[in-house]
Structure formats: C-alpha cells, structure tokens
Structure 1
Amino acid sequence: MPQTAHQASASPTAKSHSSQTTTYGTPLLPRQRVRDVLDICEAIHLDLLVQRLDARLVHFDPDRTVSIAHVDAMNTDDFEKFLAALFRIAGFEIDETRPGGDRGSVMFGTQFGKRVVIHAISESGSVAAAAVQDAISARNVYACDDAIVVTNAYFTRSATDLANAAGIALIDRVELQNYLDEYNLRITEAYQEVANPALA
C-alpha cells in the first residue's frame, strides 16, 4: 500500500531516533583530571587555613594568663579594667564604671536580668566594713537589685558580718583566684583553638 505524505515524512525521523545510542556513566572529565582539580582545591584550602592561623597568631599573646601576683601589682585603673573582663567572662554585661574615691571604683552591670553594682577594691591590707557600707549605699542610690564587693585582699570580720546582714556578696582573694582560674582557662582554650584549628 502506498505511504501517505505524513507517513513518508515521519519515517526518517523515527529511524533517526532509533539509530541513536545512549551511554550512561561516562565521566565528563577524565579521572586524572578530576584528581588534579581536587588536589588544587585542597592546596587552596590549606593555604587559606594557614593564612587565617597566621592572622590570628599575630594578635595572640601567650603571656596573657594572669596570676594573683599580677593582680596585686595592678594600679586602680588596671584593676578595674581587668575585673570588668573577669565579670564579662562570668556572664555579666558591664556597661559603666565610676570612680569610687579612696575606696576603689564602682562598676555597673547586668546578669540574669538583674542590675548589679560592683565595688572593686585593690588593697594590700584587710577590707573594712566601710567598703561594704559603700556598696549598700550604691545599691540604694542607683536602684540596683544586687551589690558585690570584690578585692584582692581579705575582709575583716565586721565587714563580713555587715555583708551577711545586708545581703551583699563578697569576693575576697580566695574567690578571686577562682575567677582567675576561669579566665586563664579561657585563654588556654583560645590558644589551643588558634594553634589547632582543625580541632575547633
């Protein structure tokens, strides 16, 4: 039977499709070329890690660990700034400091939603009850929820008794050492992270 015009024109197309062969799994690039590209990417990645490590080590000072002897040698301003750093590590948001006259300085911060006044005293002798009374007054005047007196020395018995009666927290030389231990631990962890970025 003679083919129609439509059938005649469709046959070559159908024949062309049937003659094509499709191969699956053929790589777009030779395997060696892929390996070469991966090697280049790995080298670039390592270079970036080294550059980042170098940049961080430039600003790292391994001597930043602090002992209680270092604290004793600080002047009033340095003691205040260092305590602010310690309390920030402990979770406080320190937002203001004010001179406290002859009996140290005063810092204001927030922790767990409570406003706290921190009376900082760098002292070579014992801290008397007058310093605790200053903290009580500051708590009342500035409408703070809590008050802390911190020193690198020790408190007298009268200072401790007054603080207990008024609900004032005291941080003496022994407790300050605990804060220093936490601070130095953070410094050590930061050094390890910089020295071993793959472990971070």
Structure 2
Amino acid sequence: MKTRTIFKPGICRLQAKKCKETKEGDTIFIHADLCKFMEGSYFEQFIAEIYSFLGYDISWTKTTGDQGLDLIANRKVEDGTIERIGIQCKRYNGKVENSAVGICSKYFYKCEKAIVVTPSYFTASARELVDLLDVEIVGKTELNRLLKQIQELLLQQFHREL
C-alpha cells in the first residue's frame, strides 16, 4: 500500500468569488455549493486542503482499486498518538446512495475511522448504514460548518497579523 504526501498542515489556498448566507445568518465565503462546479479530482484536492488546514498530513490512495477511500489523513492528538482517518470524496449533485458509504474500507488502510464527504446530501438508506459500518458522513450542512470554521480561523490569523 503506497501513499504519497501532497499537503502539509498550515498550507491553505482556498479561494472563492461568491459568498453565501447560512441558515444561521452567518456569511461564509467558501461554501459547499461551490464544490458542485468542481471536477472530481479538484474536489478531492479541495477536501485534502480542508483537512490539511485542520492539522492533518494528507496522502492520496491509488487512483484505481482504492478500496473506497481517496485520502488518508493523519495528525497527532493531545495524548501524543496519531489519529488516522480515511476519506472518501463524492462530488455528487444528487443524493449520495448507501453504496458509497458501504465501500469505505478503513480497515485496509488501518484507519480508526472513515468519512464520506459530499457537497450534497445522503439518502435515508445511506444514513442508516452509518452506525452499522462505523462510517462518518459529512454532507452539505456539515461541510459548510467545516468551511465556516476554517473561515473563522483564517480571519483570526489575519487579525493577529495586522
């Protein structure tokens, strides 16, 4: 199993030209709807950048025969151990079916957890599989929360540098 590192923590080149107001009334500059216009490989890079910004070292799995995961994310946690998660990226415009959730093989890559990320939503049957297969799903709402968190971190960093 070979992986190649492509991003390091602290590197973030996320840019967007449009803003969006969330249900909570917050304005976010980078939002899940922008992802629907990305090609699949760019969406994977975008998700890699998000997790890289959140402190993970990211590596890619192989393109074909990836056992249902696109990215492997590692970071040191407070107790000094390494958290290892597998990420499957699904840039769908429609709802993500349960087959996308079911193929995530966290065991093949020795991950503690697997995550399926989409800028869309998951079907009811996909959500039913989450607990059974111990897979986390990040849909449009959760992705927007992550992007808002990154935006806030970037703004804090910007204000500290002033």
TM-score normalised by length of structure 1: 0.58
Q: Pick from 166, 177, 184: which aligns with 2:144?
A: 177
Q: Are 1:157 and 2:120 counterparts?
A: no
Offset at 1:105?
A: 6.1
Offset at 1:175?
A: 0.3
Identity value in percent: 24
C-alpha separation in 2, matches of 1:149 and 1:98: 17
Offset at 1:76?
A: 1.1
Question: Structure 1 unaligned runs (5+)?
Answer: 1-59
Q: What is aligned with 1:125?
A: 94
Matches within 5 A, 1:22-101: 65-99=29-63
Aligned Cα root-mean-square deviation (Å) = 2.6
Asked whether the 8 Å contact 1:117–1:146 carries over to 2, the reply is yes
C-alpha separation in 2, matches of 1:88 and 1:131: 23
DSSP-derived class of the 1:177 partner: helix
CA gap 1:100/1:186 in 2 versus in 1, 3 angstroms: farther
C-alpha separation in 1, matches of 2:128 and 2:14: 42
Offset at 1:192?
A: 3.0
Q: Give the aligned residue type for 1:134.
A: I
CA gap 1:159/1:89 in 2 versus in 1, 3 angstroms: same
TM-score normalised by length of structure 2: 0.70
Q: What is aligned with 2:21?
A: none
Question: Structure 2 unaligned runs (5+)?
Answer: 1-12, 18-28
Q: What is aligned with 1:143?
A: 110
C-alpha separation in 1, matches of 2:160 and 2:61: 32
C-alpha separation in 1, matches of 2:102 and 2:16: 37
Asked whether the 8 Å contact 1:117–1:147 carries over to 2, the reply is yes
DSSP-derived class of the 1:73 partner: coil
C-alpha separation in 2, matches of 1:147 and 1:63: 28
CA gap 1:80/1:114 in 2 versus in 1, 3 angstroms: same
C-alpha separation in 2, matches of 1:190 and 1:169: 29
The structure showing larger relative contact order (alpha-carbon pairs under 8 Å, at least 6 residues apart) is: 2
CA gap 1:155/1:61 in 2 versus in 1, 3 angstroms: closer
Asked whether the 8 Å contact 1:62–1:191 carries over to 2, the reply is no
Q: What is aligned with 1:108?
A: 72
DSSP-derived class of the 1:149 partner: strand
